[in-house]
Structure 1
């Protein structure tokens, strides 16, 4: 998670999940990221995975301009620009 003056960004490694296994929702002032896949075989046997992450959005994030993307190598990037406050102008 990175929160600087201009932007709020979350990056998660979700390489074990397909896009259909993931959901990203904004509920009130939180972003909720959930991933779940059913049991599947790997090199060691069978495995199922599930995670749920919840992050508080900074108050000055422009929720209408938030983007979320999934890269080919399984990195989920959630990002939103921050609206400058009056105190930033001084």
Structure 2
């Protein structure tokens, strides 16, 4: 398993600032997988798409807080897909523990 370390100040990198600052990435001969913490989002607040060989993840949650305004959370991530990944096989799944798992098969 490979890890991608975050290169910016982790205090601004919600929701990972309380974690180890690492997004999990698996890139084997058979599959490509990215996993990240998305526990504060519901499936309808998460968008995963592929645009020009780039995996784009957008999570946005907004909650109204009565007369005091709005609380919102937003996370954007993008990853260049390796050349041997079949972009048409990208699938995402939000686990019951709030981990967003994105997988893709390697091209045959």
**Larger strand proportion of the pair:** 1
Between the two structures, name the one with larger relative contact order (CA 8 Å, sep ≥ 6).
1
Name the SS of the counterpart of 1:73 in structure 2: coil
Q: Which has the larger radius of gyration?
A: 1
TM-score by length of 1: 0.78
Deviations 1:16-56 (A, max 9, x none): 01111110110011010001111456xxxx74211100000
Q: Distance in 1 between matches of 2:91 and 2:44?
A: 18
Structure 2's unaligned 5+ residue stretches are 1-24
Which of 81, 86, 89 is 2:105 aligned to? 81
2:52 and 2:96 map into 1 onto residues whose CA distance is: 30
* Residues 1:55 and 2:83 aligned together: no
What is the distance in 2 between the residues matched to 1:54 and 1:66? 14
Give SS of 1:37's match. strand
Runs of 4+ in structure 1 off by over 3 angstroms are none
Alignment of 1:3 with 2:27, yes or no, is yes
**Normalised by the size of structure 2, how large is the TM-score?**
0.66
For 1:15-34, list aligned pairs within 5 A: 15-34=39-58
